Amino acid sequence: MREAAREREFREYAEARQAQLRRSAYLLCGDWYEAQDLTQTTLMKMYTAWGRLRRDGNIDAYARVVMTRTYIDQHRKGRWREEPVDELPQRPSDESSSPDLRLTLRAALLRLPPRYRAVLVLRFWEDWSVEQTAEALRISTGTVKSQSSRGLSRLRELVGEHMWELSER
Amino acid sequence: MNDHDLFQLILDRPEPDFPSVVDAAVAGGRRARRRRRVATLAAGAAVLAIAGAGVLLTPSASEQVGPAAPVPPPPAAASARPTPESAAPDVTATPRSTEPPTTPPEDGTRADASIAPEGPPEAVEADNPPRLPTQSSRTIRCQATDEGKCSSSARN
């Protein structure tokens, strides 16, 4: 009975948040299918700790922490690697307002090391503070500051010629 | 444009249609929880087993372990003393002429073929296979009795 209520609660939360989690995962890994896998792994880990999460609160922050750590761990273990496929899983879309800029930004973000990317996503996409980011990634606040600064400058450097387009927005 | 918009721009594209991952996440989470429970139970059982074995195998405080008391050596002839059975004459023995000569033992006891050698009975039978009594040995056995007349079973 208690288990059924617990699972129902988790399902409600997961259904409501999985799209948002997938977008954050996409910013981390740069591929929608990898993002889908990362979202599933994150939700699976959350399910195992759901009882404690309900008591402690701040479930969304816990989800971001689990996702970011899982992403960094998987990259560290080398589990995520490119696999050749016959057909492209993602079809190009034509509804984007500025596909070149978006692709350039995405490519620039993916050229950053995973930990830099995680810092940038948590700091500037999730709007987390330096302290929250440091706690989530288990690094010092000074490291968060330096990595976010270097990551942003490198991102702007990689975007390069598209900077004027960004500044007009 | 701030940095948040920069990430928004990367996401500025409709994402592909994905099926819900909630069912898969719940199933995977259940498996992980079951594995964790089994691992916890197994570890607890192992700890209990080790602790129980340690309690059982530890010598109690009442038992005092000390040097062994000196034991006097047994007399040398005691082990070689013949038993009454072994000293009895063997009437079933085959004639001595067919057997190889035996050397008498050094302690002066009578060397007799009926003295059973030390060792398991299987080994004795392997060395000295049982012999069937001959007609002459039956006659000697009958004469050794007081009745002087053999029964029909002894004759046969």
Residue A117: Cβ within 10 Å count = 24
Q: What is the mean pLDDT of residues B101-107?
A: 54
pLDDT category of residue B59 using cuts at 50, 70 and 90:
confident
| ipTM reported for the complex, 2 dp | 0.71
**Block residue for tokens 């296979």:** B129
Residue A109 has its nearest CB partner, among B2, B10, B13, at B10
Q: Can you say whether the dihedral through the CA atoms of A72, A78, A79, A84 is positive or negative?
A: positive
The pTM of this model reads: 0.58
Backbone angles phi, psi at B132, to 5 degrees: -80, 140
Contacts (Cβ under 8 Å, ≥6 apart) of A13: A59
Q: Residue B141 above 80 pLDDT? A: no
Q: Angle between the A32-48 and A59-77 helix axes, to the nearest 10 degrees?
A: 120
Most A CBs within 10 Å, among B1, B5, B10, to test the A interface? B10
Q: What is the mean pLDDT of residues B122-147?
A: 59
Most B CBs within 10 Å, among A29, A34, A105, to test the B interface? A105
Higher pLDDT, residue B46 or B150: B46
**Block residue for tokens 């002459």:** B136
Distance CA A4, CA B30 (A): 12
Q: Residue B79 above 60 pLDDT? A: no
Distance CA B87, CA B111 (A): 9
Q: Cβ contact (<8 Å) for A44 and B29? A: yes
Q: Residue B9 above 60 pLDDT? A: yes
Q: What is the mean pLDDT of residues B77-88?
A: 57
Q: Which pLDDT belongs to residue B113?
A: 46
Which residues of chain B make contact with A163, given a CB cutoff of 8 A? none
Q: Cβ contact (<8 Å) for B9 and A102? A: yes
Residue B26 has its nearest CB partner, among A11, A19, A155, at A11
CB B4 within 8 A of CB A121: no
| Exposure b/e, A40-78, CB count within 10 A at least 16 = b | bbbbbbbbbebeebeeeeeeeebbbbbbbbbbbebbeee
Q: Cβ contact (<8 Å) for A43 and B25? A: yes
Q: What is the mean pLDDT of residues A134-153?
A: 90
Q: Which pLDDT belongs to residue B127?
A: 57
Q: Cβ contact (<8 Å) for B9 and A101? A: yes
CB A7 within 8 A of CB A52: no
Q: Which pLDDT belongs to residue A66?
A: 93
